[in-house]
Amino acid sequence: MIEQLAQQAMAVPGEAWTTKELFVLPNEYIYWSIQIVMYPFMTGLVAGAFVLSSLYHVFGVQRLRDIARFSLVFSFALLPVAMMPLLLHLQQPLRGINVLMTPHFTSAISAFGIVFLTYGSIVASELWFVYRRHFVLTVRELAARKERSGFAGFRLLFFKILTLGAMDISPAALDKDHQACKIMAAIGIPVACFLHGYAGFIFGSVKANALWMTPLMPVIFICSAIVSGIALCILSYVVIQAIRRLRARREMTARPAGAGGAPAVEGLQEATRQEVMLVSNYLLYFMIAAISLEILDLIFRGYTQVKSWDILRQVIMERDFTKIFILQYGIGNLLPFVMMILPGRTVRRTAAASCLVLFGVFMMRWNVVIGGQAFSLSFAGFMDYHLPIIPHNIETFKEGLFGALLVIITPFVLFYFINKIMPAFLKEEAH
């Protein structure tokens, strides 16, 4: 018993979820597990959501106005979550700040702080320009009230700070805001791509790993990031619009006919349909790009047959066949692709397809991160990853199912609060 306890206390990080088969070097474990799968997945969503919002701001696709604003706010909610898996993964989370304080610039990870903060400030300032009018109007409305509750007083102060003293909302000033927005979004696209492209570089530049090392990795990551970001935006947008429709209908039945306030149900439905149809076309284009690159990489490896191909073939074609060809390419790519190109596409079918696309991109991250560690550096053995489900210590919580769920839930919780300050579905004229 004591020996068993001692054994547990001496457990090496990674030992809990790794099984080894044939000859694996003694120090090899699956050190990068579910949280490192979540990291590129979440940054991908951030980058993709931002690119979607930029389609309206930069390229002026007017029909995307509502979904663009929504995806910008959502991208902001996702932003802190891109960092979360990294912190949960670190063995020394309290030292995580060292990456910002003492970056070692030959490392791809050291760029994280700079790129992440640059990107964060771009999204924040773009949001500020979009919502400045709303902030000023809220301040005016609150200030005009004769009697204010404590909470309203706090809100007044909070929104006053948010305006940063810029209270001018004349058409000329708003026009300037719009210009600034456009510039921010234009700078934001390359930065968003860089944020995610460099996540791909983190993997692609590891020369010790035969599966990861390819210069295509950053490009593959960017394409699949945009795919996943757009898919999540479609899905959330459809769900949230459905909830709003439901509320509107309830209010309509509760109130006498003709009373204003609630958005018209039919109008909402049609607007949503148009936007979703347009966005799903973009989703298809990026999916084609992402899949082509991934298949190209696979074919190239099979054709050149370098030293590592023997073991990679065994991993890709045999051990991980289900995960790669059935779950990722079949259910995650092919099925939604067919669902979207078949005639008579509906919002509901597109939403279901988006859901599958999200799953497909998640499986792609999984197959890259975990699959890359599924074989030994000796090329003579294999490792299997067993996701810890019931946590029995802090490590199996952080790097287990519940840690991953925590990361997935957080952006929605953040969105709820950010939406209170910057309503994603604000009715106002084009800015």
Amino acid (one-letter) located at 118: T
Cα separation of 341 and 165, whole Å? 50
Q: Which residue in the set 80, 263, 330, 381 belongs to the binding site for another protein (CB under 8 A)?
A: 381
Q: Which residue in the set 1, 60, 104, 151 belongs to the binding site for another protein (CB under 8 A)?
A: 104
Pick 15 or 297: Cβ nearer another protein: 15
Stretch that binds another protein, among 101-109, 165-173, 357-365, 423-431 (CB under 8 A): 101-109
* End-to-end CA, the chain: 69
Q: Which residue in the set 1, 2, 5, 10 belongs to the binding site for another protein (CB under 8 A)?
A: 10
Supply the Cα-derived Rg of the chain in whole angstroms. Answer: 24
Q: State yes or no: residue 19 binds another protein (CB under 8 A).
A: yes
Q: State yes or no: residue 346 binds another protein (CB under 8 A).
A: no
Tell me if residue 170 falls in helix, strand or coil. coil
Q: State yes or no: residue 7 binds another protein (CB under 8 A).
A: yes
Tokens of 82: 């891109």
Cα separation of 335 and 127, whole Å? 36
Half-sphere exposure in the Cβ direction for 148 (13 Å, CA):
15
Query: C-beta of 21: minimal distance to another protein in Å?
Result: 4
- Matching residue, tokens 């670190």: 90
Tell me if residue 316 falls in helix, strand or coil. helix
- Matching residue, tokens 């490896």: 301
How many residues bind another protein, per CB under 8 A?
A: 53
Cα separation of 361 and 359, whole Å? 6
Q: State yes or no: residue 318 binds another protein (CB under 8 A).
A: no
Quote the distance between the C-alpha of residue 198 and its chain's center.
Answer: 15
Q: State yes or no: residue 221 binds another protein (CB under 8 A).
A: no
Q: Which residue in the set 5, 62, 256, 307 belongs to the binding site for another protein (CB under 8 A)?
A: 307
Query: C-beta of 268: minimal distance to another protein in Å?
Result: 46
Query: C-beta of 203: minimal distance to another protein in Å?
Result: 9
Half-sphere exposure in the Cβ direction for 12 (13 Å, CA):
10
* Binding characters for another protein, 21-50, by CB under 8 A (x = yes): xxxxxxxxx-xx------------------
Stretch that binds another protein, among 82-90, 126-134, 155-163, 325-333 (CB under 8 A): 82-90
Tell me the sheet residues that pair with 99.
none
Summarize as ranges the residues that interact with another protein (CB under 8 A): 6-7, 9-15, 19-29, 31-32, 86, 89-92, 95-96, 98-99, 102-104, 106-110, 112, 202, 205-209, 307, 376-381
